Structure 1
Amino acid sequence: MNERTHHAQSTRCTLMCLAIATMMGVMPCPGAEPSVDGFVDLQYQPAPVDNPLKGLVPYARPAEGRFPHTMEFNYLPLSKLMVEENEFRWEAMESLLDDIGSRGHHAVVRVYLEYPGRENVIPDFLVRGGLKVHRYLNTNTAPFPPKMIETPDYSDVQLRKALANFIAAFGGKYDGDPRLGYLTAGLLGTWGEWHTYPRTELWASKEVQTEVLQAYTKAFKTTPVLLRYPAGENDYHYAPTKHFPFGYHDDSFAWATRVTPRPEDDWFFIAKMNRADLMENWKQHPIGGEIRPEVWGCVFDSPSCAPEGQAFADCVNETHATWLMDTGMFRETAAKPRYQRAIEQVGRMGYEFHLAAAKVDAAELQETRVSVKVENRGVAPFYHKGWKVQLGLIDPVQGEVIEQWPTSWRLTGIQPGEGPTTWSTTLNLKAIAAGDYVVALSVPSNIKGGVSLRFANQTQDNDAKDWVSIGSLRIQP
């Protein structure tokens, strides 16, 4: 018998011995007494690092086996999606979402209007209509060589109208699409990152920015949208963002994230979040971003290559980051020490749900009441609506789920650092044959072939894949 099999059988025996609930009221075993309220504690172990909708995010189609992940990122130029003022072609978006989804992953997407080294990304109908385009050598590409870029005149009336039309159509088509995990606002600035540095005179006005923010607010009610820069009322370059329902992405993560004593670092992410009074925004809206290219991979070394005060773990804790684009852990196979530190530190990102205790009552012959206490040990909540929590009975001998019940339980709103949330529901057992069963809980993926949400419990996957065992039930003839 291998170690995993032994552990699974031992845990199963413990659960069966506990007899949290039986139809005939079997007493729990000595040493496994439930608490006064009838709940039995469930043991913690770290949840898998590749839980859905969190963690490190490579560019689409990464090499296999480099680092666990459940999301992929890619850009699309606006010219691929918009061909006339009110004519859109979604083939490129569909191809991207279907390709990423074919690997059971969710997509993180950004649409852009300018990108160093790329041409013809502005819809041709705008250029033909007289849109002014500035062509110049972009020197803000470190650590890569400077490249030519085409920046549109963001004050152009037709461009502004086109952006509003596109965002409305984009939201109408894709808001709430389960394949789309997160959307970064994009559209304005280099790489869609809302700046034209060092050519700041070409940057969009606050009026144009506000138009884009308002359009996204109206078009996307379900899919989380993230902005690059938080801005307060008196920000010199940016329109105020606090009252818009968006998250934020720090694209210089572990490099220019945390506050420093130097005045010239006032553009760092946390400094801007503080000035905009947005430090609590993570409780409702996600924080994402990208690990800065200069520290790809080596940010997880010991010692880390991150600048002083910008350690990855500290940045995660202070920003409450849920996901980060990264190339460092995907461009080559990491040495074991780097890989292990990455697993430990990335595992702290986003949510981590632990089922702390469970109780299965046997009040009536043909039904039972199931209650679970769930806590969030991560740094952020779960932001996506529509993920269904279900209960099931598992035949412990065959390892098969023989019955399932939907619940009204929801993962959204369970904040880290707060006391456990108690879920309760009643299961109808009239159709269940006599026998001994494991009571279990599961949260299946919202996309075909996707990764189910796994809990930070020792009994996760012990009796059936994607199910966490929470107790036992004996149904007498």
Structure 2
Amino acid sequence: MTRAVRAVLALALALTAVTAAGVPASATPTSTWTPLTYQQAPADNPLKGFMPYAGSYQTFPHSMEWFYLPLRDLMTGPATFDWVPLERRLNAIARRGHHAVFRVYLDYPAKPTGIPQFLLDQGLATHSYPDHGNNGLSVSPDYEDPRLVAALDRFIGALGRRYDGDPRIGFIQVGLVGFWGEWHTWPYDGGTRPENWMASEATQAVVLNRFESAFKRTRLLVRYPSALNKDLHMGYHDDSMAFETLPPTPWHFVQRLIDNGVTEKWRAEPIGGELRPEVQSCIFDAPVSCAQYEDYDESVTRSHASFLLNQAPFEGGGFTGDEWFRAVAGARSLGYELTVTEAALPAAPARGNATVGVRIANRGLAPFYYDWKAELAAVDSAGRVAKRWTVPWTITGIQPGAAPAEMTAQLKLAGLGKGEYDLTLRVVNPLPGGNDLRFANAAQDVHSGLLTLGRLTVG
């Protein structure tokens, strides 16, 4: 069991008895636990589901957008950077109320090189190739050149200093190495060609360790599980989901998880990726019409993926009819689904203070990976918020299939007039205008983000 998995399991155990300022873990005798009704959560809950390439789309529910950027657009010298191209992308996506997921590359077949010009001017050696439709347009760099290694180290450090914890960013994929930033140079890495252009383990370790040290809040993903990253605080992205995912083929994603002993790493670190382009437009047909594919549900269940790049439902007219509904179900099946199973409110009119509680279960495939703040509010009969309380509750790391996490807090009622109020729970998205996190409950208001827990009477 890795250090990261041990940490999140400890957190999950702690969540079963979260309290506020010395309040007992269970509700007081004057409070009553009342079941709340389950109802499916929306498919566009934040930080999960399908996402398109960055752009304005109305054809399919989503909360994130994806893009690539070449390193040469961001790094102008050995220690100078131009963040404008990244800022433009992040701001455009944030204005649409979505989080960004992105990857920076050096080498993208069939696109102009992403290598910073100053490195080429210094004489960095490169390899031309015709594979992957490239025809010599992009070039693979010499990853062992100390000037390139030093540049990558400085770039990652600068990126972390500026963007770690940025509320516009959902996830960052650890790119920079290999074709498309996908950490391979096939067939020039032990494939059908005699050359091996792939970065050495020493260079890979520099990139991986620098990313881990530079990002403490924003969550990271790398393409392949390996001995070099199994104990690092980063997850994985399967860019061939439902195509090269399932065992026992050695290079398939889940088999790599098994072989590297990280099948449980999803409990602490996110899994994402891309639904393989060849199956995006056909895997939700009934019956499936793809020439080659793997079972979607099994691929998602065994990988515990939270989000996938899937352009097909967004472009053109998108999906229609039953195919659209099947795709929505496929998107909804990714990641977390949090539901409040019970809420505890005072059974009699409260004065001065009130002890309240919730029990939250996860019916999804993965936890929620960020520590977003929880807020309670008393809403009067006119629908106005009469008082708010920030409570030290966290939904982070609540595990699928585990017993509901129980959290209680004592609310100070000073300033609330006598009468009845709806007590509501909200998990605050730190992205202004971002999709609300909505619980899988019938009492969830999908527009306001408020989940009604029950009636609070102030005496």
**Deviation (angstroms), 1:109:** 1.0
8 A Cα contact 2:354 2:413, kept in partner: yes
Query: What's the CA shift string for 1:422-462, capped at 9, x where partnerless?
Result: 11111111211222211111112111111110000001018
**1:271 aligned to 2:255?**
yes
> Any residues of structure 2 matched to 1:180-259 within 5 Å, and which?
180-200=169-189, 201-232=196-227, 240-259=228-247
Return the alpha-carbon distance in structure 1 between the equivalents of residues 350 and 272 of structure 2: 48
**1:412 aligned to 2:396?**
yes
Select the structure of larger CA radius of gyration.
1
**1:316 aligned to 2:300?**
yes
SS in 1 for 2:366: coil
Of 312, 315, 318, the residue aligned with 1:328 is: 312
- What runs of 5+ residues in structure 2 fail to find an aligned partner? 1-28, 190-195
Return the alpha-carbon distance in structure 2 between the equivalents of residues 186 and 434 of structure 1: 58
**1:100 aligned to 2:88?**
no
Aligned residues between the structures: 423
**Deviation (angstroms), 1:138:** 2.0
Give the residue type in structure 2 aligned to 1:247. G
Q: 1:48 is matched with which residue?
A: 42
**Deviation (angstroms), 1:270:** 0.5
**1:445 aligned to 2:445?**
no
Q: 2:362 is matched with which residue?
A: 376
Query: What's the CA shift string for 1:344-397, capped at 9, x where partnerless?
Result: 121111111100001112485222111111111111011112x1111111123x
**Deviation (angstroms), 1:342:** 1.3
8 A Cα contact 1:390 1:443, kept in partner: yes
**Deviation (angstroms), 1:402:** 2.1
Q: 2:9 is matched with which residue?
A: none
Return the alpha-carbon distance in structure 2 between the equivalents of residues 96 and 282 of structure 1: 28
Of 142, 154, 168, the residue aligned with 1:153 is: 142
Distance 1:146 1:136, change over 3 A: closer
**1:71 aligned to 2:64?**
yes
Of 162, 166, 171, the residue aligned with 2:155 is: 166
Report the TM-score, using the length of structure 2 for normalisation: 0.89
Give the residue type in structure 2 aligned to 1:291. L
Return the alpha-carbon distance in structure 2 between the equivalents of residues 69 and 162 of structure 1: 35
Of 283, 286, 296, the residue aligned with 1:302 is: 286
Give the residue type in structure 1 aligned to 2:340. L
8 A Cα contact 1:376 1:414, kept in partner: yes
Distance 1:273 1:457, change over 3 A: same
Give the residue type in structure 2 aligned to 1:231. S
**Deviation (angstroms), 1:399:** 2.3
8 A Cα contact 1:444 1:451, kept in partner: no
Query: What's the CA shift string for 1:58-84, capped at 9, x where partnerless?
Result: 10014x221100100101110111111
8 A Cα contact 1:363 1:369, kept in partner: no
Tell me which moved more, 296-305 or 69-78.
296-305
Give the residue type in structure 2 aligned to 1:245. H
Return the alpha-carbon distance in structure 1 between the equivalents of residues 36 and 452 of structure 2: 9
Return the alpha-carbon distance in structure 2 between the equivalents of residues 249 and 146 of structure 1: 27
8 A Cα contact 1:370 1:424, kept in partner: yes
Q: 1:469 is matched with which residue?
A: 452
Report the TM-score, using the length of structure 1 for normalisation: 0.85
Distance 1:411 1:306, change over 3 A: farther
**Deviation (angstroms), 1:244:** 1.4
Of 338, 344, 347, the residue aligned with 2:323 is: 338
8 A Cα contact 1:67 1:330, kept in partner: yes
Q: 1:110 is matched with which residue?
A: 103
Q: 1:61 is matched with which residue?
A: 55
Return the alpha-carbon distance in structure 1 between the equivalents of residues 395 and 344 of structure 2: 19
SS in 1 for 2:400: coil
Return the alpha-carbon distance in structure 2 between the equivalents of residues 309 and 76 of structure 1: 29
8 A Cα contact 2:220 2:235, kept in partner: yes
Q: 2:5 is matched with which residue?
A: none
Distance 1:131 1:425, change over 3 A: same
8 A Cα contact 2:129 2:135, kept in partner: no
**Deviation (angstroms), 1:409:** 0.2
Q: 2:375 is matched with which residue?
A: 390
Return the alpha-carbon distance in structure 2 between the equivalents of residues 101 and 304 of structure 1: 35
Query: What's the CA shift string for 1:222-247, capped at 9, x where partnerless?
Result: 11110101124xxxxxxx32121110
SS in 1 for 2:323: helix
Give the residue type in structure 1 aligned to 2:122. G
8 A Cα contact 2:31 2:356, kept in partner: no
Q: 2:25 is matched with which residue?
A: none
Q: 1:353 is matched with which residue?
A: 338
Return the alpha-carbon distance in structure 1 between the equivalents of residues 181 and 63 of structure 2: 23
